[in-house]
Every structure is written in structure tokens, then in C-alpha cells.
Structure 1
Amino acid sequence: MPDTILQKILDNYLNINSAIITLVTIGLITIITIVAYSLEQKISHSSPLWKRISVHTIEGLVLGSSMIMLQNIFHILNSGSINHGWLYANAQLTILLYCMYLIRNKITLLINILMPFLYYHAANISRLDNRNLPLFVISYISLILIVIFIYRRTDFLESNEWQYLLLQVLFGLAWWILLWVDHSFPYVEIFSMLLVFLIYMSIIRFCARKLQDTMLNYDDLQVQVNYDELTGVRNRANLDKTSEEIYETYYSESAVPLTIAMFDIDHFKQFNDQYGHSTGDEVLKHVAHTMEREMFLTDTKGQLFRFGGEEFIIIFRGKRPADCVSIVTDLRDTLVNTPLILNGQRLDVTISFGISKLVESDDSFSDLFNRVDKYLYESKNAGRNRLTVEGITYDFNDIK
């Protein structure tokens, strides 16, 4: 008997159709992973409710579309027949379970809970007359508990291989009992189908991990390319890219203001000369981290870039220079009131600012940048620790 079951498994799965379905399943998993990974980067727990719902709905539609696509491909391969439906079922179960780990939202949870009633033949109310109805109910309740447990404990399960495997077995067993109630295939085949499901999940998990590792490596590369290694804020390359995009956007939308603030650290050379370049690096990090933290806490909606050396740029979208004066004054005050303590030495740091907005006469972002740079040097030439806004210089202590 075992030899017969094994031979049947080999005959059913080691053929061209099973290979195609497996490759299609891997392809769909790849698409789902990329879409989910890209979308989840755009939201967080603090994102507006409508934005989170929109992203989760799109993820649910991608999952549903993948299931429909897999069904159509299976029917094409089998000329519209449902023969060898276990092959198609295992592929869909693999996608359903994988997405429970990947897409952690309530829409995916709901799809998993409702899927037994959307499955082939599952909507047939003749099930109510089936003598195995109690078994169906027990299996369905078990399936609900399993997917809810996975939904709540995903992070823990991913780090615990044995529980991860156990949940796969229970998930697959609950599903194949549900299908057995409807289709009445020999009960011993439940175990062969379950075995193939576990093999499917192993293949998919291996491929998914390789894909996720690739994405993480890509993220690391993006960080290296777009963020300053020393301070951790956006760098000159990222500024060049961003400046082109915002110029095109805000120049055509003249009703929406765009303001640029540029600042540098006063007497920075003295920190290097008196205390050494390692201290100069600490001053740069202190200024960048203080400014970025304060901008985040006060929700200024500004973007901080390290332009080079001790010079930084802040891009304020949708704000006029007058709006930015109070913002940069608060940033400067926070920095002044938070001296850097290094090796028992108190280092007081001040900064000088230049501020200007995009105007119609600016033929490029460079015109705006050059004007802001000019205003910055006007602040420094006036004695430093000052702010120049559209050509008018102020002492920070005089700004209320």
C-alpha cells in the first residue's frame, strides 16, 4: 500500500502540468511579495486610517486576483476539467497560508476565513445533508482558530521552526478534511495531499526568503546611495534627485509654495582644529540628529539633507518663508539649549540660516539654491548665529 501511494504521488506531481502550476505559484508569490513589500513601506501605524485601508484593500485585491488567475491557468491546462484538482488546491492553499505570514492585515484574514465557502463546490448547500457535516464544522472552526492564531503570532512563528511547521500541518489538515467532505475521495489521500502541501510550502518559503533577502539588500544599497554615512540624514545625491522632482512639481503649481532653508555650523573649523576631526564628526552628528529629531517631534513636514561639509538643507513643502521663520528659530533654540557633552567637555553649537522660496523667475532649482546660499553667507557675514530671509537678516535673539 505505501508503495502504491508513493507511486501515485510521483505520477500525479512529476509531470509537466504540476511543474507549470508550481512555477506559476512561485511567480504569483513573487508578485504578491513585491507588491506587499512596496505598499507596506508607504504606511505605518500613524498613517491616516483611509490610507491604511486603501493599502490593505489593494493587497487583498492582489491576493484575490492571484487566486483567480491560478484557477484559470489550471482550467486551461486541464481543458476546463477539474481532474487533478488537488494540484490546484495545494497551490492555492500555499498562497493563502503564505499571505497570512506576509500580508498582516484583516482583509487577508477575512479572505482565509471565507475561502472555504468560495472554493469549488463549497457553496453547494447539499452539504447540509451530508452525514459528514459535523466533521466539516469542526474542521472549519479549527481552520478559523488556526488562521487567527497565525495572524496574531506571526512574528513569533517565523522564529520558531517547529511551531511554524506544526501550524502548516494543522492548516493543511483542516483544509483537506473540508475538501474531503465535499469530494469524498479516499480518506488515505488526505495524508498524501498534506505531504505535497508541506513540500509546496517548503519550496515557496525557500524562494520567498531569497526574494526577501534580495529586497533587504536592495534597501541597504538604497540607504548607502541616498543617506549620509556619518549623520544618517539624506545626502547630496538624494538632494539632487529630490530637487529635480520638486522643481517640476511646485513650479507648475505656483499656488502651492516651496521654501528652502540652508544652514551651516558656526565656526566649525575651530572644532576640528581645537579638538580634532573626530570631535568635528561628533558635532556634525549632534546637529543632524538634534534637528531631525526635533523636526519629527514637531511635525514640520520638512526634509533634512546634508549638502556637504558642515552645510545642511531643509526643504519645506507647502510653506512660505514667513511660516518657516518660527520653525527654524525653534530648531536653532533647541540646538542651543542642547549642548554637546563630549569627554566631559561642553561644546556649545550655533548655526546660521538662509531662507528663500521658489519664484516664477527661477529657471531651475539651482537658481533657488544659489539664492539661499547667498542669504546664508549674508547671515555669516553679519556675525553668524543669524537668519536671513529673502535678503533681510535677523538676529535670532530678536525674533519673537
Structure 2
Amino acid sequence: MPDIILGSIINNYLNINSAIITLVTIGLITIITIVAYSLERIIGKSSPSYQKFFKHLIEGLVLTFSMIMLQQIFHILNTGSINHGWLYANAQLTILLYCMYLIRNKITLLINILMPFAYYTSINLDRLENKNLPFFAVSYIFLVIIVIYIYQQTEKLQRSEWKYLIMQLFFGLSWWILLWVDHSFPMLEIINMLIVFLIYMAIIRFCAKKLEDTMINYDDLKVKVNYDELTGIRNRASLDKTAQELFETYSNEEIPLTVTMFDIDHFKEFNDTYGHSTGDEVLKHVAQTIEREMFLGDAKGELFRFGGEEFIIVFRGKKPAQCIPIIANLREALTNTPLVLNGEKLEITISFGVSKLDKTDLNFDDLFNRVDRYLYESKNLGRNRLTVEGLTYNFNKLTK
């Protein structure tokens, strides 16, 4: 019997059509994976319900498109006949199961549950007269149970190779019994089909894992390139990229753009007195406190570490006068949450320079140089101050 199975596999799968179907399947899996990961970046768990539904709908449409595409390619390869139909069926089952693991939403679940009635609609009534209808009913119920279990336990299954393999086996067995009821092929072929299905899943999982690793590495590289390693906020390189877009967008618009630059007063003394590790803690504390307060206060500012102890905040759609109370609140939040290291409370103050993009600015550097000049006016006049378009305010008086 092993020789018969091996011979059947060689005759049916080691040919040009099987190679094409396999490559097409891998290509469709790649498209599905890219779409799923892209949507995940855009629409997260905290997004509104309508956006989540839209995301799930797109994923369901991509899965449906993949099923139709496989069907059309199979018919083209076989000039309309159903020879080697199990090859096409295994490819579809592979995509269906893979999407259950990758996407895991209710639309994908519904497609998996309804697919036994949708893949060949003209045969639905014929099943009622088939003497093997009880096998179909039992296998379908078993398939539904397996699909729901996979939907609910995806993360646990992916952590266990044995459970993952057993679920693949049960999923494939259920489907091939359903197909056997419809097409009456020899029962021995079910073993053949299951072996090939497991091989397909192994190939697809390997390719998907490599693709997933590539995307994760890309995300890691993107974070390293655009985010400051010490503070976790966006860095100078990210600001440089954003600056060009900001100038092109706001230089020809009536919508205001305000930029503020601040640095930590007497930062060198922290390093000289307590050491550079304390200086690093001060930088992290300032960056994380400002970023947290902007998020909680809905200030809609974009925070960047410019370099050393200097930071930039970009306020889109706000005039400098509108930014004064926001900046005062940020500074007050920093004052009210002192940094305590080794039992000692460190008093941290910051100075600001603020200006808006002017129509006379030829580029972003013109705006930046003006903001930088205002920052140094704040520092030269005693620090812990805010200079807005050349007018300096004492924070202690501003907040009283």
C-alpha cells in the first residue's frame, strides 16, 4: 500500500501543474499576509467598531478573491476539466486554514463554515439523495467544531507544534470526507490527499514564517531608524523627514503651524554631579512625562528628540498663543512629577522657544533657527522661561 500511495503522489503532484498551483498558493498567501499586517498597523484594537468591521470585511474579500483566483487558474491549467481536482482542493484548504490562524475574525470563520455549501453549489441538492449523506452530516459537524476551536484557541495552537499538526489533520480529514461524499473517489485517496495537504501546510507555514520574520525585522529597523533608543520618542532623523512634509503642507495654507524647542536647564550639572547614567534617567523622565501629558491632555503635539538635551514639539493647526497654556501645563506636569533617584528628588526645569511658520520662511530651517534663537533668549534671561515670538514669560508668574 505505501508503494501505491507514493506512486499516486508522484503521478499527481510532481508535474508542472502542481508546481504552478503551489507557487500561486504561496503568492496568494503572501498577498493575504501583507494585507493583514498592513491593516493591523492602520486599524488596531483601540480603533472604532466601524473601522474594525471595515478591516474584517476587506480581509474576507481578500480570502474570497483568493478562492476564486485559485479556481480560475486551475480551470485554465486543466482546460475546463476536473482532472487533478484534489490538487486545487488542497490549495484552497491550505488557504482557508492559514487564514483561520492569521486573520481570525468572524467573517473568516463564517467563510470556513459555509464553504462546504459554497464551493460547488449545484451539488447541494444531490447530497440529499446520496446514500453517504450521514457521513457528510457527521463530517460537517466535526469540521464546524474544529473551525470554531481553531478560531478560539489560535494562540495556544501556534505555541504547540503537536496541537497545530493535529488540528491540521482533523481539518483536512473532515474536508476530504465531505469531498468523498460528493465525488465518490476511492477511500484510499483520502490518505493520499491528507499527506499532500500536510505537506502543503508545512511549505506554506515555512514561507509565511519567513515573510513574517521579514516584516517584523522591517518594523524593528524602522523603529531603530526613526526612534531615539534612549527615550523611545522620535529622533532627529524622523524630524528631518517630517520637516519637509510640514513645510510643503503648511507654507501655502492658512492653517497655522507652530514649532517649539525646549531643553533641560543646567543639564550638564546632572552629568557632572551624579554621573551620565543619572543624566540618561533625566532625559527619559522628561521625554516620557511630556509625551504622556500630551497624550492624556489631547494636545495633539508631535514630540522629537533633537539631540542632547534638546527636544522639539510640533503643533499642527495651532497658533503660538494657543500653545502657551499647553506648554505651561506640560511644564507644570513635569514640576509636579519630580524624578527620585537613590532617595534624592531631582528638581528639573525646562526652557522653551516658540514660533509659527511664516510666509516669509523659505524653508523649515528659517523657522527652526528662529525657534532656536527664542529658546536661547529664555535661557539667557534666567531659564525656566518661555519665549514666544520674541516675548519672554516667566513660568512661575505665568502659572499663578
Q: Tell me if structure 1 keeps the 8 A contact 2:235–2:305.
A: yes
Post-superposition shift, 1:302? Answer: 2.1
- Give the aligned partner of residue 214 of structure 2: 214
| One-letter amino acid of the structure 2 residue matched with residue 235 of structure 1 | N
Matches within 5 A, 1:100-111: 100-111=100-111
TM-superposed CA distance for 1:256, in Å, is 3.3
Residues in 2 aligned to 1:316 and 1:339: alpha-carbon distance in whole angstroms: 25
Structure-2 change in CA distance of 1:155 and 1:237 (3 Å): same
Query: For residues 248 and 107 of structure 1, do their structure 2 counterparts lie closer, same or farther at Cα, with a shift above 3 Å needed?
Result: farther
Deviations 1:127-184 (A, max 9, x none): 2222322322222222222222212221111111111111111111111122122111
The aligned counterpart of 1:141 is 141
Which residue in the other structure is 1:55 paired with? Answer: 55
What is the distance in 2 between the residues matched to 1:206 and 1:248?
A: 44
Alignment match, 2:159: 159
- How do 1:257-268 and structure 2 match up within 5 A? 257-268=256-267
Residues 351 and 386, structure 1, Cα contact 8 Å, conserved in 2: yes
Residue 381 of structure 2 is matched in structure 1 by 382
Encode CA deviations 1:219-264: one digit per residue, 9 max, x unaligned: 2211111111211111100111111123223334x24333222111
The whole-number CA distance in structure 2 between the counterparts of 1:399 and 1:82 is: 81
**Quick one: which amino acid aligns to residue 161 of structure 2?**
E
Q: 1:381 to 1:17 in 2, by over 3 A?
A: same
How far does residue 390 in structure 1 lie from its aligned partner after superposition? 2.7
Report how far residue 195 of structure 1 moved: 1.3
Would the aligned equivalents of 1:121 and 1:182 in 2 still touch at CA under 8 Å?
no
- Give me the CA root mean square deviation: 1.8
Q: Which moved more, 1:207-216 or 1:48-57?
A: 48-57
Question: Which residue of the partner structure matches residue 225 of structure 1?
Answer: 225
Tell me, yes or no, if structure 1 residue 312 matches structure 2 residue 315: no
Residue 123 of structure 1, CA deviation: 5.6
Provide the residue aligned with 1:256 in structure 2: 255
Match of 1:187 in 2: 187
Q: How far did 1:374 drift?
A: 2.1
Is residue 2:299 matched to residue 1:300? yes
Change (3 A) 1:149 1:13: same
One-letter amino acid of the structure 1 residue matched with residue 144 of structure 2:
I
**One-letter amino acid of the counterpart of residue 109, structure 1:** L
Task: Give 1:237-256 correspondences, 5 Å limit.
Answer: 237-252=237-252, 254-256=253-255
Q: Residues of 1 paired with 2:356 and 2:19: CA distance?
A: 60
2-structure distance, mates of 1:293, 1:22: 49
Deviations 1:330-386 (A, max 9, x none): 221111111111122221111112222233333322222222222222222222112
Matching residue of 1:394: 393
Kindly state the Cα deviation for residue 122 of structure 1 after the two structures are TM-superposed: 6.1
Question: 1:347 is aligned with what amino acid?
Answer: L
Secondary structure of the 1:41 match is: helix
Distance 2:143 2:328 in 1: 58
Residues 371 and 162 of structure 1, relative CA distance in 2, 3 Å threshold? same
User: Size of the alignment, in residue pairs?
Assistant: 399
User: C-alpha deviations, 1:174-203, integer Å up to 9, x for none?
Assistant: 111221221111122112111111110011
Deviation of 1:104 after TM superposition, in Å, equals 2.5
Post-superposition Cα deviations, 1:269-324, rounded to whole Å, max 9, x if no partner, equal 11112222222111111111222222233333222110011011112223333332
Residue 45 (structure 1) aligns with: 45
Q: Is the 8 A contact 1:227 1:235 kept in 2?
A: yes
> Structure 1 residues 392 and 145 mapped into 2: Cα distance closer, same or farther (>3 Å)?
farther
Does 2:103 correspond to 1:93? no
Q: Deviations over 1:49-97 (max 9, x none)?
A: 2322222222222222222222111111111222111101101111111
**Distance change in 2, residues 1:59/1:362 (3 Å):** farther
TM-score where L is the length of structure 1: 0.94
**Matched letter for residue 159 of structure 2:** S
Structure 2: state its 5+ residue gaps. none
Report the equivalent of 2:347: 348
Q: Distance in 2 between matches of 1:387 and 1:339?
A: 20
Name the structure 2 match of 1:371. 370
Q: Is the 8 A contact 1:116 1:122 kept in 2?
A: no
Determine if contact 2:8/2:192 at 8 Å carries over to the other structure: no
5+ residue gaps, structure 1, are none
| Alignment check: 8 A CA contact 1:122 1:182 kept | no
2:272 — aligned with what?
273
Name the SS for the 2:353 alignment partner: strand
SS at match of 1:315: strand
CA contact (8 A) 1:231 1:284 kept: yes
Letter in 2 for 1:147: V
Change (3 A) 1:320 1:181: farther
Which amino acid in the other structure matches residue 70 of structure 2? L
| Closer, same or farther: CA 85–121 of 1 in aligned 2, 3 Å | farther
